Amino acid sequence: MTDKRLFDYLYEQLNGHPLDRAFGCKRDGRWQYFSTVQMAELVNRASLGLLQLGLKPGDKVATVVYQTLPEWVVIDYALLQIGVLNVPMYPTISSREYEYILNESGATYCIVGDGDLYDKVSAAKEKTPGLKEIFSFFKRPECRSWEALLAPAAADFSEVEQLKSAVRPDDLATLIYTSGTTGNPKGVMLTHRNIIFNVEALRDIAPIVAGDEVLSFLPVSHVYERVAVYAYTAYAVSVSFTGTDNLGGEKGDLRAIRPHFFTCVPRLLEKVYERIYDKGLELHGIKRALFFWALDLADAWDFDRHPQGWEALKWRIADRLIFSKWREALGGRVKGMITAASACPMKILRTFNAAGIPVREGYGLTEASPALTFNGFRPGEAMLSTVGPALDGGDIKIEPSAEFRPGEGEILARSPGIMLGYFKQPEKTEEMIRTVDGKTWLATGDIGMLTDGPGGKKFLKITDRKKELLKTSGGKYVAPTPIESVFKEHRLVEQVMVVGENLKFVSALIVPSAEGLREWHHKHEINWTSLEEVIRNPQVIERFQMLVDRVNPNFSHPEQIKKFTLLPGLWEPVKADGSEAELTPTLKLKRRVIMDKFRKEIEAMYQ
């Protein structure tokens, strides 16, 4: 195991493969970049400036941005090399949650991005006595700019160098507060060594080389993208930061940057797929027929499958006429994408890979910093319906229980990436860290099973969340996630939550896709008014009943949906009216919140 510290990656890039365009973003409509040389200089100037504020090793500084900026990376590396902990916060949470995180972490300063972030943190500051000052990455009249933290370029940096040399790999690097589906967030304590284990393990998986271009648009408040940024530094690739709203279209950032690689979440891939599908619906005649023929062909795709003869010819025709255009829409150079954070529908995985856009699923959690398993990009390294084998240097164990099927159980994990624990919450730490067979394991709370895969390796299948298992009043356990995943593969479904805890049968709350339902109305020459009205139309209800009838045979009798209710409003990670959101910042269902908000609708299904 390497004895690197995270900031060493920046200096390795500086000495081994300096880039003219190391980190950049759009400013006033134009792409602007910092070189590796500029980044290293700014990092040292920021480190000294932070020390001049009175900060010392072990102190905490909070950061929160909607979109990652090169300046955020500067501050992050500046904090790391003087032993001050960066406490990144989600931009979509409430002032009350900022107040909780700032108070528990003891952050003395906070640096915010644009939009309403200053206002939200400022409101929290009134009840956060330890927070001395708020800085901004953007110029604004209410507070000082981050540039005020920069010491002069000609200053004496000997103190910075001394602190740099004193940082050890096992020192705490950051506190990352989990989004959590219930209760207050928990501060995950991660060391340099924890995170570097992931960076080095992924070095052999990600299909990128020095000088490649990557696009980064996920929030660095989540460990997933944060570790990706460290990896991009380690691999010496050019990073362009953007937001998810700027990706698509003829003038979108995918076409502008033409990335070789990026990380994403399944929902983004679903949206791209929906846009491609919509364009197919606009076609006519032979073009339309060819489009949907290619889409049907993708259903037969699998890793390491090599079509022969007539079948191979069909694939070449589909690639030339259809799939090549999909690749061009993503810039035409994508060598790979890694998706994680939630289950990716099988239809999406097959379609993108069939189109020559390699997508691989991984699995992990913040407490593992974050990766535990990954499907690789080389032949024999990936398997559909799994999240891959354990990373080299890690181990996965399934803990069986009478409530699960044979071979299935809670996923336990061991690796150098496992957290030190939860900040100031030893009881919660003890719930997650478990001793089994004389070894210490992280109890993930996820349910899964190991299955034989290529190369004699054991591949992990995720079947559900332990805390989300339903138990009907008849005593039958039901895993909602696989059922929800099948429904979400259908074009008419935007969101779905399975219900049935302590109830006599399983039902579902379904949020229809407005675009899909509108197209269905047009196809069947039915007048479209609004989503709120059409979900009461008997014809629409009958169409969803047909979908339920088609899905149910995939599951055992206790798991089958007996009743459903259509809902008109999307579940969101942040609510404009200030009410509690239905999704976490990482887009997981807050089941308790949804149950509370739609209690009447649920009760009506069981009357």
Tell me how far apart the alpha carbons of residues 449 and 384 are, in angstroms, rounded to a whole number. 14
- Mean pLDDT of all residues in 31-53: 98
pLDDT tens for residues 369-425? Answer: 999 999 999 999 999 999 999 999 999 999 988 777 889 999 999 999 999 999 999
Predicted confidence (pLDDT) at residue 182 exceeds the cutoff of 60:
no
Tell me how far apart the alpha carbons of residues 257 and 243 are, in angstroms, rounded to a whole number. 13
Q: What are phi and psi of 369, to 5 degrees?
A: 55, 50
Q: Give the pLDDT score at 320.
A: 95
189, 231 Cβ separation under 8 angstroms: no
Alpha helices in 444-513 (DSSP H): 480-488
Query: Measuring CA to CA, which residue among 394, 358, 364, 356 is closest to residue 376?
Result: 358
**Domains of the chain by range and CATH?**
8-167+215-263 (3.40.50.12780), 266-357 (no CATH), 470-605 (3.30.300.30)
Q: Is the dihedral of CA 69, 75, 78, 83 positive or negative?
A: negative
Residues paired with residue 174 on neighbouring β-strands, in sequence order: 86, 190
SS3 12: helix
Strand 493-499 versus strand 506-512 pairing type: antiparallel
Tell me how far apart the alpha carbons of residues 302 and 354 are, in angstroms, rounded to a whole number. 8
Predicted confidence (pLDDT) at residue 276 exceeds the cutoff of 90:
no
Tell me how far apart the alpha carbons of residues 552 and 100 are, in angstroms, rounded to a whole number. 43
List of residues 6+ apart from 251 with CB closer than 8 A: none
561, 506 Cβ separation under 8 angstroms: yes
List of residues 6+ apart from 578 with CB closer than 8 A: 94
585, 93 Cβ separation under 8 angstroms: yes
Amino acid at site 95: S
Predicted confidence (pLDDT) at residue 215 exceeds the cutoff of 60:
yes
Other CB atoms within a 10 A radius of the CB of residue 535 amount to 18
Q: 233 pLDDT band (50/70/90 cuts)?
A: very high
Other CB atoms within a 10 A radius of the CB of residue 403 amount to 12
Question: For the CA atoms of the chain, what is the radius of gyration?
Answer: 25
Q: Give the pLDDT score at 501.
A: 86
33, 239 Cβ separation under 8 angstroms: no
Q: 147 pLDDT band (50/70/90 cuts)?
A: very high
Q: 41-55, 558-572, 578-592: which has the highest mean pLDDT?
A: 41-55
Predicted confidence (pLDDT) at residue 181 exceeds the cutoff of 60:
no
SS3 414: strand
Q: 244 pLDDT band (50/70/90 cuts)?
A: confident
- Mean pLDDT of all residues in 111-115: 96
pLDDT tens for residues 257-269? Answer: 999 999 998 878 8
